[in-house]
Structure 1
Amino acid sequence: MHINKHTTKHAPTCTPKHTAIGQRKQGIIAPLLRSILAGGALLCLVSCNDMDTSPLGTYPEDQFWTSIEKAQYMLNMVYNQHYSAGTMWNDETLTDNLIHARDFCDERTIRDGNAETTTTTFATTWKNLYAGIKTANMFLENIDKLQANQHTLTRMKAQARYLRAWMYLRLTSLYGDVPYFTTNLTTAEAKRVSRTPHTQVMTAIHNELTAIVNYLPRRDDLTNDERGQITRGAAIMLQARAYLYDADWAAVEQYCLMLMNEQEQYGHYALYPNYQDLFSQDAEYNAEIIADYEYAPRVRTWGEMHDMAPISVGARVNGRAPTESLVSAYLMEDGLTTDASPLYNAKHPYAHRDPRLTATVVYDGYRWSDNVPDGTTGKIIYTHPNSNITTDAYAGPNKNQTPTGYYVRKYYDAKHEDRLASSINIITMRYADVLLMYAEAMNEQGKMSQEVWNATLRPIRQRAGFTLASALDYPTTATQADMRDIIRRERRCELALEGLRWFDIKRWRIGKQCLDGYVLGARFINNNTENIRLDKYIFDENRDYLWSVPQTQMDINPNLMPNNPGYSR
């Protein structure tokens, strides 16, 4: 049984945006889907709960823990609760990569400097993550009641513990000190629990991952029906990512090397040969993918692209749009910035650029039919307001078209369903990130070298499509500070729109640099001499690296106070 085609129907009060499923894209799914939905009805309260409510509702507990199949339903639920496509796109909207300019969503409110203790996303994120943790805790407290193969039970427990660690890492990254517990809380306990210091939460996460890694399978050992399960490689990478967030460079180096050099132990990983195709259904489960969040045609899809793609290819309106800041980050073919390269021509600003720009962003004159295998011929996207074809063209603020002159290309599903519904898996961890983390760790320790460059940034750029020596060869005259800028830019462009940018801004402490001042779009104003100007972001260095503890939670439990700096209560 393919276990992490995660969940089930939810209660009507918290219906998710996407339908859930218990089987991946290959094979016959209908019988299994019926069983997942039937089992899921028993668990429908899980994702709607605060941390003290029983997920089983009125269903007799002694009748639930009677089979491995029922336990699997609950493990599937944990997979479902730990992440989603919507989470990734919301995270990107918190950054200088995307802006949601059509309405005042919470991400826009936060970036405009108007966040309060009552901001809805502070409460829903807290609640949803603790709901997932509660499901994991309940699963772990009851799974040993089953009379089943011990190897199967041990692997299932390791998966649940990994997912719980993932959710705690997200919680402490967003809120700082957060309540940490690994058992189900009673109502009374939930009203008394206090915040655990960030350092202690991180130590617990590292200890958890160390304890479970050898109970997880290698990627190489999974059958086709098991693809998508948490593996040893994912546990090692989550260790590296957690150490990265705390700037423990020696530990980042150690764990990245485990994935780079100890592949017999932790699984074989490698860069996928085509960057653009990496984010498609056809490339799923390739050797670059260390972990992903799964979707499947017709039965489990995500729909955010309906409000991000060009109107002429089937989008409804444009909600989120890439910014000029993101577009400007992409180098020229010679490896130089647009300011420094002789290849740059302001009249043709998107020519001779890093090929990853075309794989990520739709710009004026974008040759759609050359870059999207959807059967169109000769289709070009025009976003300039002076274009003769205005379907996708910038028309000013609060219009259906792009507010920045750009649309999202990355993750566009050429095999999409109605309303651009996509079943492309969302990649949460991939091998390119391992190489970038390793390069950064080596540079921060003063250990950057041509050997490190040739093992990390050079193959990443080669895969991207760079061919000139000036872009591929080790920059021998670069200082440590120069190399830091190179690695950070490379990381932004390689991992753009994958939900990681905010956490990089946070750990680099560059919020004021990136998220303070006007958000700009393409240079379409005053005869192409000025950029479109949108919101004026406000970033408070003393407040905005952490979210507020939700007001509703502080009202229930005074032990969650004092709040993070800059917020009331």
Structure 2
Amino acid sequence: MKKICLSILVAASLFACRKLDQPITKEFTENAYWRNAQDGLDALTACYEHLSKDDYFYGDEALSDNAYNSGTGLLNVNAISNGGYDGNNARVKDTWSYYYTTIRRCNEITLNMDRVPGIDSALKRRIVAEARFIRAYAYFQLTAWYGDVPFYLDLISIDNSRTISRTDKNTIQQFVLSELNDIRKDLPANTAQEQKDRGRVTRGAAIAMSARVHLFRSEWQEVVNDCELLIGKTTDGAYSLFNSYSGMFTVANEYNSEVIFDLQYGGSRTNDKQRSFMPQTITALRSVLVPTQDLVDDYIMTNGKAINEAGSGYDENNPYMNRDPRFEATILHHGSKVTDLNGNVQTILTQPGSVPSTNTVDDQGASPTGYYFYKYYDRAATNYASGLNLILIRYADVLLMYAEAKNELGQMNAAVWNQTIQPIRKRAGFTDAGATEFNAAWDKAALQTIIRRERRAEFAFEGLRALDIRRWKIAATVLNRPVRGIRVTSGAFNKDPKGYIIVENRLFTDPKHYLWPVPTVERDQNKNLSQNQDW
């Protein structure tokens, strides 16, 4: 409970301006704070600053079968992926302490806003509602990764922090859902949000987040109920699919019609993680966060069939032809062309023996799988530092959560398909009826496979897969496979029987690895903290 044990004065963690992407610029004492509405807004900005971070957004992808992260970067998530970690792992420790700092910042607001004299009552309720959303988000993240965790809504004392025990995760998630429901009345719809408040929590964000928590808990009817508030309606916010899949992840199109909630960057708050995933000829740094062959193989063909289905037309000797258009928008492969930060077009060569060899699997600084992530590459970055917002919830997720829930309830049909998967695929660029039209011969199991594969393709490199494979209880299957790279015909590589590079063997033990251990440092300070199974 390292962060809980620290007695943190609220003023020491507050921003001096309302803008969400600016750092702390002045200091306060607690007695001199809570003087006016601006103090409340500044305190709230400190909560937003601690909502999440790029290490988690990108690192979560490597916690799934979508990506491989070499070395100890991104808080050593690779050790988690390959099963070689314990309560001293950097990511395991960081996530716990990070979100308890977030919770304390939010508790400062919920407990102190009544001290602000003369503040407009609607503004006060909104500030508190936004803080409650961020706190709920933090508690959901903690329960998703650790299960039972300490739960409190006050400014816990040091003495109490050393004796507090863990609360059942179900109790905490029920609280999260209650909060996300109760705060809706105090939040604006995105249609009523002023431009200066873009990036703040809206009613639509609270509804969509509630749907995501219900989805995690397999509460299918509740998922349907939440999603139906946002699909085809405008009372709680107006959202629609943006017209360009690849264009959605650019600075030019931030705050587009599909974005429900995003992590704010820009101004003096930037991230440089694209240097970890783009080819080193683009960003001048070793490529360590890279796609897997398993992810590549899951992209369907333009006719809607999986690559191993009869009639798909897949050619292993020409594997990137006639694939899901989102593949090219997400992943760079041998022969891909990309415009670098200087405006020059580069052809990315990844096969061994290619000249130049800089981006090939031969080079120690290149991708070991022979693939690179392309989504979220920001050509507008200055000195490799990107100000591009990272989307945490978008409308496509609402549609696919709805489709999944309806199918699990046995209610998936052509009408639901035409509301959800069809528009998503058409936006992606599919035109073949085999990919866009509903097939009445599909049963529930077949549709489950289709919907899960659709989620993977639509949200690749957006961090959602890690929790998806855990809630579906397939992590023990997909994370017990070797990490594979491209198929090669030459070079001294460890390969499978078909010639695909084997980068690493992973281990995921069921049930042990479905939850992280409570960090060792926390249990050293608080003997009342129990530990998860098998840790």
| Fold conserved between structures, TM > 0.5 | yes
Query: Any conservation in 1 of the 2:20–2:45 contact (CA below 8 Å)?
Result: no
Q: Tell me if 1:234 matches 2:197.
A: no
Aligned residue for 2:70? 101
Alpha carbons 2:40, 2:127 under 8 Å: kept: no
Quick check: 1:384–1:394 contact (8 Å CA) kept in 2?
yes
Structure 1, unaligned stretches of length 5 or more? 1-9, 26-32, 43-58
Per-residue deviation at 1:202? Answer: 1.1
Alpha-carbon distance in 1 for matches of 2:318, 2:342: 26
> CA offsets, 1:417-438, max 9 Å, x none?
10x2111100000000000000
Q: Give the counterpart letter for 1:65 in structure 2.
A: W
* In 1, Cα distance between equivalents of 2:24 and 2:96: 26
Counterpart-to-counterpart distance in 2, 1:470 and 1:548: 45
1:22 to 1:322, Cα distance in 2 relative to 1, 3 A: farther
- SS of equivalent to 1:356: helix
Q: Which residue of 2 aligns with 1:167?
A: 138
- Whole-Å separation in 2 of the counterparts to 1:286 and 1:24: 18
Change in Cα spacing, 1:21 to 1:389, as seen in structure 2 (3 Å) is: farther
Residue 435 of structure 1 corresponds to: 399
Partner Cα distance (2:231, 2:455) in 1: 18
Alignment partner for residue 221 of structure 1, among 187, 192, 200?
192
Paired residue for 2:464?
Answer: 500
1:380 aligns with 2:347: yes
Letter in 2 for 1:375: G
1:84 aligns with 2:84: no
Over residues 460-518 of structure 1, what are the superposed CA-to-partner deviations in whole Å (9 max), with x where a residue is unaligned?
A: 00001101011111022111100000000000000111111110011000012210021
* 1:266 corresponds to which of 236, 250, 272: 236
Deviation at 1:92, TM superposition (A): 0.9
Separation in structure 2 between the aligned mates of residue 413 and residue 190 of structure 1, nearest angstrom: 42
Aligned mates of 1:407, 1:401 — CA distance in 2:
9
Contact 1:116 1:548 in 2 (8 A): yes
C-alpha distance in 1 between matches for 2:251 and 2:402: 28
- Residues 324 and 120 of structure 1, relative CA distance in 2, 3 Å threshold: same
Q: Does 1:363 align with 2:363?
A: no
- In the TM superposition, 1:83-482 aligns within 5 A as 83-103=52-72, 106-147=76-117, 148-263=119-234, 265-297=235-267, 299-340=268-309, 341-369=311-339, 375-377=343-345, 379-395=346-362, 399-418=364-383, 420-482=384-446
Amino acid at match of 2:153: T
In structure 2, the partner of 1:37 is 24
For residues 516 and 326 of structure 1, the distance between their equivalents in structure 2, rounded to whole angstroms, comes to 15
Match of 1:533? 502
Per-residue deviation, 1:262: 3.4
Do 1:24 and 1:225's aligned partners in 2 also have CA atoms closer than 8 Å? no
**Partner AA of 2:428 in structure 1:** A
Give, in whole Å, the separation in 2 of the partners of 1:497 and 1:20.
33
Partner of 1:56: none
Distance 2:16 2:446 in 1: 46
How far residue 300 of structure 1 moved from its aligned partner, in angstroms, is 1.4
Percent pairwise identity? 33
1 CA distance for matches of 2:72 and 2:158? 38
- Superposed CA offset, 1:9-29 (max 9, x none): x99xx99xxx9985379xxxx
Provide the C-alpha distance between the structure 2 equivalents of 1:20 and 1:63, rounded to a whole number of angstroms: 14
1:241-268 per-residue CA deviation (whole Å, 9 max, x = no partner) reads 00000000000010010111432x2110
Supply the AA of the counterpart residue of 2:533. P
Q: CA deviation at 1:343?
A: 2.8
Distance in 2, matches of 1:497 and 1:406, equals 13
The superposition leaves residues 353-408 of structure 1 with CA deviations (integer Å, 9 ceiling, x where unpaired) of 11101111110000224xx897334x321111122222211116xx1111100111
- The one-letter code matched in structure 2 to 1:415 is A
Q: Which of residues 516, 528, 534 is equivalent to 1:559? A: 528
CA distance, structure 1, for counterparts of residue 394 and residue 342 of structure 2: 26
Relative to structure 2, which stretch is displaced further, 434-443 or 382-391? 382-391
SS in 2 for 1:544: helix
Task: Please tell me whether the aligned partners of residues 18 and 38 of structure 2 are also in contact (alpha carbons under 8 angstroms).
Answer: no
Q: Summarize deviations over 1:443-476 as a string: whole Å, max 9, x none.
A: 0000010000010000000001101011111022
Q: CA deviation at 1:190?
A: 1.0
The Cα shift of 1:342 comes to 4.3
Q: Is the 8 A contact 2:16 2:25 kept in 1?
A: no
Decide which moves more: 149-158 or 65-74: 65-74
Relative distance call for 1:525 and 1:197 in structure 2 (3 A) is farther
Equivalent AA in structure 2 for residue 386 of structure 1? G
Residue 282 (structure 1) shift: 0.9
Tell me which amino acid in the other structure corresponds to 1:404: T
- Aligned partners of 1:239, 1:185: CA distance in 2, in Å? 27
Report which stretch shifted further, 97-106 or 275-284: 97-106
What does residue 4 of structure 2 align with? none
Alpha-carbon spacing, 1:252–1:141, altered in 2? closer, same or farther (3 Å): same
CA distance in structure 2 between the partners assigned to 1:199 and 1:376 by the alignment = 53
Name the amino acid aligned to 2:419.
A
Query: In 2, Cα distance between the equivalents of 1:319 and 1:373?
Result: 19
CA contact (8 A) 2:126 2:186 kept: yes
3-state SS of 1:428 partner: strand
The aligned runs of 1:514-529 (5 Å cut-off) are 514-526=478-490, 529=498
Structure 1, residues 194-223: CA drift from partner, whole Å, max 9, x if none? 111111011111111111111001000111
Partner of 1:547, secondary structure, is coil
State the alpha-carbon separation in 1 of the partners of residues 179 and 142 from structure 2. Answer: 16
Offset at residue 102 of structure 1 (A) = 3.8
- Structure 1 pair 328–21 and aligned structure 2 pair: CA distance change class (3 A): farther
Matched, 1:544 2:531: no
Residues 314, 123 of structure 1: alpha-carbon distance in 2 compared, 3 angstrom cutoff? closer
Unaligned 5+ segments in structure 2 are: 1-7
The partner residue of 1:491 within 448, 455, 465 is 455
For the residues of structure 2 that align with 1:547 and 1:86, how far apart are their CA atoms? Answer: 17
Following superposition, the deviation at residue 348 of structure 1 comes to: 1.7
1:112, 1:435 → 2: CA distance? 33
Query: Aligned pair count?
Result: 517
Give 3-state SS (helix, strand or coil) of 2:369's partner.
coil
- SS across alignment from 2:230: helix
Distance in 1 between the 2:481 and 2:17 partners? 43
Mapped contact 1:525–1:532 kept (Cα < 8 A): no
Q: Deviations over 1:140-171 (max 9, x none)?
A: 11111111111111110000000000000000
Report if aligned partners of 2:282, 2:341 keep a CA contact under 8 Å in 1: no
